[in-house]
Structure 1
Amino acid sequence: MAVAFAREGAHVVVSGRDETKGAAAVAEIRADGGKADFARADLDGSSAASRTLAAQATDLLGGRVDILVNNAGIYPASSTTTADDEVFDRVFGVNVKAPFFLTQALVRGMIAAGGGAVVNLGSWITRLGVPSGSIYSSSKGAMETLTRAWASEFGPRGIRVNAISPGVIASADWDPATRDAADVMMRGTPAGRSGQPEAIAAAAVYLASDEAEFVHGIVLDVDGGRTGVAVVATA
């Protein structure tokens, strides 16, 4: 997504916990002629961490942020019967509280500047349950609900808020066995295979663009038909 926004001319601030990965993303963007900077942040769910990142990003971008993509998230392996307080609080801290307070910190500046766009990341398993995702899927369900609430709250003030619900996405650097397992989950769907990260990037760019100026409060399924179409698989 960062690469895709930069190719459209945006000055991108990439954020994360890993400075090595952040530097690599910035280098890729700059090598392609784009503008990018890295701001390290460990979004633990505290309002202070989100406010600090918001301030860093605003400073790096010359005092103005037009687009926020709430993409940070974790998915620790746990089930309802094995999860404890620490796991629950950590998932909701990173997946819900962090984007809530980051949006709170940045949307004021967007309103003052006359407009902006927020793109949240949901998940296909908010509507199609899987046996090991109760905490994660409920956290992403909260983000999809916040998308609609924020669209109602901020739309009249010039801020468009929408979300993407990615399906089964396989990264290019995954080993063949993992990619095969991802493809198995997509058998019988219209796409018939797992998706690529570029599909999510294209959706994010669209939702933040002027072409989507009449789009408010939606959750755009980019999942190869996994949730919207009956899946008929053969043995």
Structure 2
Amino acid sequence: MKNALITGATKGMGRAIAIAFAHEGINLAINSRNANDLNAFKAELLQINPAIKVFTAVADGSNKTELLQFAKNTQLQLGTINIIVNNLGMYQYAKILDDEPGLFDRMVNTNLMPAYELYRFFGKSMVAAGEGHIFNICSVAALNPVVDAGIYSVTKAALLSLNNVMRLEMQQHGIKVTAVIPGSTLTDSWKGQEIDKDTMVLPEDVASAVVNIYKMSKGANVDQIVIKPAGGQL
């Protein structure tokens, strides 16, 4: 069995990806700040596939110390990690000149730092194993900055750049790295707004893309995939 670590897995795209991997028989490591959410989701995943292992940890993925402890415990519980999905993220609607104090640090620690630290933690063991796949959930804001979400756009562009460096470092070792770049996706970022789901990308669409990319032949890698609403960005 393969083992996957997914950050931000109890909601939105991360949740859909975890469910999709459970259907594929892949063991999972997931974290959340909310123990009740974790326990409920673990039960759901095991109902989907009782044969898999699901390791959970109450940990804030934007806190480096807690993130690395989660990584260490995951390795102890599951062994070699074959798949990393860097999904944890936050969105703040604000121009940079209007950013509240501390927003820059929170954005960097949520949208960028976890991918860097988990790459550093698991990268060499992936090289030693000669296989693995890292997915970085970016955003179309990395390609076309949204001025009304300034620092979000900056951190997602930095994540895409980090993804590209990872891929170049890892390609000689047989490790795949893919940037998943969704447009307007129906997640909690849109909570409270009246939205027609048929005008948006669904989390399940992103999960389907991730699983199908992972299942490609050993010699194939998708450098990046852009998934936008059929009718254009909202």
- TM exceeding 0.5: yes
- 1:53 lines up with 2:70 in the alignment: yes
**Aligned counterparts, 1:95-134, within 5 A:** 95-134=111-150
- Between the aligned partners of 2:167 and 2:207, the Cα distance in structure 1 is 21
- 1:195 lines up with 2:201 in the alignment: yes
Distance 1:39-1:226 versus aligned 2 partners, 3 A rule: farther
Deviates more, 1:218-227 or 1:95-104: 218-227
User: 1:166 Cα deviation (Å)?
Assistant: 1.1
Q: Where does residue 179 of structure 1 map in the other structure?
A: 195
**Aligned counterparts, 1:16-27, within 5 A:** 16-27=32-43
- Between the aligned partners of 1:128 and 1:194, the Cα distance in structure 2 is 18
- Between the aligned partners of 1:175 and 1:158, the Cα distance in structure 2 is 40
Q: Kindly, what percent of the aligned residue pairs are identical? A: 26
| Secondary structure class of the residue paired with 1:107 | helix
Q: Where does residue 186 of structure 1 map in the other structure?
A: none
Q: Where does residue 189 of structure 1 map in the other structure?
A: none
Distance 1:95-1:171 versus aligned 2 partners, 3 A rule: closer
- Between the aligned partners of 2:32 and 2:74, the Cα distance in structure 1 is 12
- 1:221 lines up with 2:226 in the alignment: yes
User: 1:72 Cα deviation (Å)?
Assistant: 0.6
CA offsets 1:81-120 (integer angstroms, 9 cap, x no match): 2214511011011111121011110112212222101000
Distance 1:226-1:137 versus aligned 2 partners, 3 A rule: farther
CA offsets 1:3-58 (integer angstroms, 9 cap, x no match): 10111110011122222222222111111124222122212353x33321211111
- 1:43 lines up with 2:61 in the alignment: yes
Specify every segment of 5 or more residues in structure 1 that has no aligned partner in the other structure, as ranges.
184-191
Number of residue pairs the alignment of both structures matches = 215
Is the contact made by 1:14 and 1:25 (CA closer than 8 Å) also made in structure 2? Answer: no
Larger radius of gyration: 1
| Secondary structure class of the residue paired with 1:179 | coil
Q: Where does residue 21 of structure 2 map in the other structure?
A: 5
Q: Where does residue 80 of structure 2 map in the other structure?
A: 64
**Partner AA of 2:212 in structure 1:** Y
Q: Where does residue 73 of structure 1 map in the other structure?
A: 89
Specify every segment of 5 or more residues in structure 2 that has no aligned partner in the other structure, as ranges.
1-16
- Between the aligned partners of 1:111 and 1:105, the Cα distance in structure 2 is 12
Is the contact made by 2:94 and 2:149 (CA closer than 8 Å) also made in structure 1? Answer: yes
